[in-house]
Structure 1
């Protein structure tokens, strides 16, 4: 044992030393405790400092407030949110949070009620003022209520404030957007085409889902689902336009039909703009329902391009179809054909049985024509009784195509020859069909249709119920007629048509009148007779104008003769057409012309053929009596060539008959013709009519006619038609001072 240790043992038994040791140990313990407390205090202060710095540097506002609404503390973020520069300024400025901060003061009561009930509030959204600037902003507030641990009374509450103004604006815009898209008649979408060619749907609006027939819970995220809704006839066009838009990065526009999920067929229109992104091409687009517009368009198209009675394509639509067929033929090398069909005697059915029966008949004709051709062929109606069939032939050889077209035309005739049941009546009809084969190299649909029309008229000229193939010779003839028609229009305007006058003589050989015959001295074709152009004028609506011109010139010529005593007693015979007789203004025109020149109406004789009398007898009879009441003479021209009954002729106010020259030509050699002429002359005498023999060319004919009782003659034996000047000279040379005149009116009528 060491000496030091022994000393300690000895000292340890000393009480004083023990007290001192105990005191020393106590001090050491106290110092240690103080050191520990001091260290803990410094740690707490450091932690408080760090906590404060954390709060001060938070982007959210942190605060502490008293239950009565006074602000107790605020971090810098909350200070800035309220528009202040320091916490002190904020605390000094805010007196009552409820009244000064919230736009709607009741929101503070709702906040406190929830806080007191639950002890906390989370994400309480309110619109508040930025306290200093009074700018309105939106905040999200969370807080907890701190109570006294002993009494449980609320001491204060503390929490955080986060400005969400931009979020609210965005939500508001989104809400507006959703409302807008839900109210739009269409829908919005975003479609992505990935670089690997796959498609995916990025966004569809509610309106688009409704368009496609989906409910609100279903999102059509598979583009193929929508593709399969597209109508089979429109799917290729749909894909082609989408592909073209992606390749050219141009707007995608397409109209197509779909069968929606709910089974409804709709017309839709897509309009989308492509955008290149890192994922691929994104189309931002709008889909709209255009079913109503399409329905309207189709109705307009039906009215514009389809015959309302038969529902067949009309003239305009047929021209389009002919044009498309021409383009197809030119591309494929095949040929097509046009069958131009005119129903024979349809007007008679319509006029006698009524338009309702005629309409039923036309509908049945349309059905038969459609049944007589193939599905690739087109049938249309272009006029009252005119139909056209456009044939799509798979033939490249002209001969084969022509044969097949004629076979089709005969099939049409066979279908139309079968009886039609029209209500309680059975009707039989026939048709004239013009056939034109084409290869697409022609000038256009108009030319083809015109040529097919001419072929149809060729068929009519063959006696109806016939087929005629277009002949280019007819085209050349029609071109000549067309040029002649234009020249005649100009001649009528420029008064280049003139009248020549053929003498009419009595039994003594003296001139008692003349027949006015129209002549046209054409610059290219020379002198033209009425047979060369009068028929053309009637076909193209110039007959009335032509007839009035003849009447006007004839009346002026009579007025000139009136001034010469040797010519004053002459009559003028003028041919009038059915068009003139039907003209409601013709009577007034004639009356005005006669009065304008102060002429005796008896000097004018109006000639008409038996053909005129067969058309609408009641109207013609009434008009003849009106003309007779005016004072003019009436003559039945070309008598013997028509089918007028004697009883009917007796009722008409004719003054004379003109025996047709065909009977006079053979009177010398034909006993039957002599007997017929004798019968005509006897009948004229019985009816009290004067008789004029036409086309007298020989003296022997004249002698035979005189022996049969004929008193008036006209023909080359006495003179050809001559100009007004030559005729006047002819009369003055041939006639003595006084001649026997025509009887003034009907004898014994």
Structure 2
């Protein structure tokens, strides 16, 4: 049987449970009623026949008695011979026998028997007595053995008795027949009523059974229907389907197949939802921290714009960036860096700001959306700044990683929003520009977006574009600032880069070098400087006055940390033919922060080529002192910030003296930059500084002008 037909039988079962038994009961009731009616009709017919026979019997017996009396009373008057009389009497005797048989049958009829067995016996007895006297009268008349009148009188007496008794019985039979008819009708009525009540009871029982079956079926169908509805609504959690599981265990046939199909559908839907959640998690959430990612944060911000527009309140977007996270990540390892980001995410989530949505954009950058600050812009800004301060406080607390404490600083950019006219992309851009200027302002700084800031950002974007074009078009040039010894004689120079912009003219390194550092363009720029410096060394080696000059080249931390840096330097020396002993690489303190063993190994590789090293801007950092004795340095350079007020500031003088003494103790050459006056030179010379660089001796000039300075007599220290 097909499942559809089986299900049809399930739906028709309650109807069949009522209709089929009801039809069967109706047929049985009709048969019983018909049999009762037939019995009642038969009873009435038999009683009526008995009454008719009784009435006919009285009439026949009366006629026979009259004819018998006439015959016997006229026996002498009628000239009949013996044979004729015998024949006549024989006929009468036959009629008496027939009447006797009728009386016997009448006596055994149900009506008389029901009336009284004694009445039937008495009726037979009186008739037989009457017949006896009739027979004796007949014999007497026939055989001439006596007077038949005597016997005839006795027969008349018994006939009268029989007639009276017969009439009495007839009346009683009539009454009894009427009673029997009423009793039969009453029994028939009672039987029909019983059948009706029994039918109604059975019908009620069938309806109850059908209703129970329908309830059971309906319950199962409702269970199936509820399961289907629950499985079809993807917004609701999946049901446990315990009832469906019981259906699959306790039933067979279509219900079991439906239950098994629903359970299979639930498992499939569970797998689908799990896969959908995984896809949604990957699409909208950060895999490392579990926070909303850039895509979901944009949707949240769009929703916040609509919400704050309806409530007429300001919201804020905070852009959080970790300062120098790459340096921290490189020093502790990427795995520990990931753990640090996880702890940062936990701290942001534990701030307790209910109206804040926190997400991770990428790397070490987080975004926070704050709704419903205030309807007043100034108060909203104050609340946003207070929240940013809480963020800074939470994120700058010590982090414990593998038993070691790490510290970090964050910069935050804030932008307020209120209406739906604001663009989501623009708000993120504004917040990013604000955090950019927060970084410039110093560690743990907080800055609000300002149109002027945006103008600077656009200018920076334009400058970055031009800087990339400058690398392609080779718009850079090198200038050189002379370095002298204590006698004022030229011993070398520092190569300084200048950008010769097509429309802006010469662009200061302070304007584009930080941008190149941030964008990574410092690597190709540094490679160009390295090749140009080597070519300049070759040109100086051809001149008697410049062949002994040592050229110092600044190397950025990103350039030095390139895996191919040693090979790049060797390649530049090889293709130019420059002497590696005339090349000096100046490193900043940030260059040697991180994996110190790798840095030292790389420096030794370069030292093996004949290259010397100088530590630039010495004293401005905080980590180089502990590594100073391990680094293969040749020279340390006193930063010009300590030289500028040297002869006026006792603290600067103490620092300079300490650096010179430290260099002497470690066997390092010491050079001071920023020497702009005779007083600077004299003071440094008095403390036995080895070399000097600054405007007092020479401004940064082109290579040709640099050669002329070498031809000029050195200045005199007075």
Common topology (TM > 0.5): yes
SS of 1:393 mapped into structure 2 = strand
SS of 2:461 mapped into structure 1 = helix
2:563 to 571, 578, 584: 584
Of Structure 1 and Structure 2, the greater strand share is in 1
1:503 to 479, 482, 488: 482
Change (3 A) 1:178 1:716: farther
Of Structure 1 and Structure 2, the greater helix share is in 2
> Which stretch of structure 1 is more off in the superposition, 714-723 or 548-557?
714-723
Is the 1:667–1:674 Cα contact (8 Å) retained in structure 2? yes
SS of 1:499 mapped into structure 2 = strand
1:567 to 546, 551, 554: 546
Give, in whole Å, the separation in 1 of the partners of 2:499 and 2:6.
82
Following TM superposition, by how much is the alpha carbon of 1:333 offset from its aligned partner in structure 2, in angstroms?
4.4
Change (3 A) 1:178 1:456: farther
Give, in whole Å, the separation in 2 of the partners of 1:586 and 1:425.
32
Change (3 A) 1:427 1:549: closer
1:529 equivalent in structure 2: 508
Is the 1:543–1:580 Cα contact (8 Å) retained in structure 2? yes
Give the unaligned 5+ runs of structure 2.
9-215, 245-264
SS of 2:482 mapped into structure 1 = strand
2:428 to 431, 449, 452: 449
Is the 2:516–2:522 Cα contact (8 Å) retained in structure 1? yes
Is the 2:223–2:243 Cα contact (8 Å) retained in structure 1? no
Give, in whole Å, the separation in 2 of the partners of 1:644 and 1:429.
15
Give, in whole Å, the separation in 2 of the partners of 1:713 and 1:354.
40
SS of 1:590 mapped into structure 2 = helix
1:308 to 287, 299, 304: 287
2:597 equivalent in structure 1: 618
Is the 1:442–1:448 Cα contact (8 Å) retained in structure 2? no
SS of 1:382 mapped into structure 2 = strand
1:607 equivalent in structure 2: 586
Is the 1:230–1:256 Cα contact (8 Å) retained in structure 2? no
2:190 equivalent in structure 1: none
Change (3 A) 1:320 1:709: same
What TM-score results when the alignment is normalised by the length of structure 2? 0.58
> Which stretch of structure 1 is more off in the superposition, 670-679 or 307-316?
670-679
The alignment status of 1:436 with 2:407, answered yes or no, reads: no
Taking the TM superposition and a 5 Å limit, the aligned residue runs for 1:56-205 are: none
Cα deviation code 1:103-136 (max 9, x no counterpart): xxxxxxxxxxxxxxxxxxxxxxxxxxxxxxxxxx
1:381 equivalent in structure 2: 360
2:705 to 726, 732, 745: 726
1:392 equivalent in structure 2: 371
Change (3 A) 1:260 1:491: same
Is the 1:435–1:469 Cα contact (8 Å) retained in structure 2? yes
Following TM superposition, by how much is the alpha carbon of 1:589 offset from its aligned partner in structure 2, in angstroms?
1.0
Cα deviation code 1:191-235 (max 9, x no counterpart): xxxxxxxxxxxxxxxxxxxxxxx9798556999x8998599xx7x
Change (3 A) 1:673 1:483: same
Give, in whole Å, the separation in 1 of the partners of 2:509 and 2:681.
26
Give, in whole Å, the separation in 2 of the partners of 1:685 and 1:559.
32
SS of 2:413 mapped into structure 1 = strand
1:743 equivalent in structure 2: none
Cα deviation code 1:705-746 (max 9, x no counterpart): 44443453322122211112322343345589xxxxxxxxxx
Following TM superposition, by how much is the alpha carbon of 1:329 offset from its aligned partner in structure 2, in angstroms?
4.1
Change (3 A) 1:400 1:539: same
Give, in whole Å, the separation in 2 of the partners of 1:665 and 1:176.
99
Is the 2:305–2:422 Cα contact (8 Å) retained in structure 1? no
> Which stretch of structure 1 is more off in the superposition, 655-664 or 627-636?
655-664
2:529 to 524, 547, 550: 550
Change (3 A) 1:730 1:423: closer
1:50 equivalent in structure 2: none
Change (3 A) 1:568 1:437: same
Give, in whole Å, the separation in 2 of the partners of 1:304 and 1:507.
66
SS of 2:584 mapped into structure 1 = strand
Change (3 A) 1:264 1:696: farther
Change (3 A) 1:691 1:355: closer
Give, in whole Å, the separation in 1 of the partners of 2:646 and 2:346.
56
What TM-score results when the alignment is normalised by the length of structure 1? 0.56
The alignment status of 1:661 with 2:643, answered yes or no, reads: no
Change (3 A) 1:491 1:264: farther
1:476 equivalent in structure 2: 455
1:649 equivalent in structure 2: 628
Change (3 A) 1:684 1:441: same
How many residue pairs are counted as aligned between the two chains?
487
Is the 1:373–1:408 Cα contact (8 Å) retained in structure 2? no
Cα deviation code 1:461-480 (max 9, x no counterpart): 66655654333333222222
Question: Highest Rg: 1 or 2?
Answer: 2
Cα deviation code 1:288-318 (max 9, x no counterpart): 9855434322211111211223322112211
1:337 to 316, 327, 332: 316
Give, in whole Å, the separation in 2 of the partners of 1:426 and 1:571.
43
Taking the TM superposition and a 5 Å limit, the aligned residue runs for 1:323-334 are: 323-330=302-309, 333-334=312-313
Change (3 A) 1:215 1:510: farther
SS of 2:568 mapped into structure 1 = helix
Give, in whole Å, the separation in 1 of the partners of 2:471 and 2:452.
29
Give, in whole Å, the separation in 1 of the partners of 2:679 and 2:354.
71
Give, in whole Å, the separation in 1 of the partners of 2:449 and 2:243.
50
Cα deviation code 1:617-641 (max 9, x no counterpart): 2222222211111101222223344
Give, in whole Å, the separation in 2 of the partners of 1:454 and 1:393.
23
Cα deviation code 1:319-344 (max 9, x no counterpart): 22222333444566444322333467
Change (3 A) 1:623 1:336: same
Change (3 A) 1:329 1:669: closer
SS of 2:362 mapped into structure 1 = coil
Cα deviation code 1:11-62 (max 9, x no counterpart): xxxxxxxxxxxxxxxxxxxxxxxxxxxxxxxxxxxxxxxxxxxxxxxxxxxx
The alignment status of 1:322 with 2:301, answered yes or no, reads: yes
1:262 to 221, 231, 241: 241
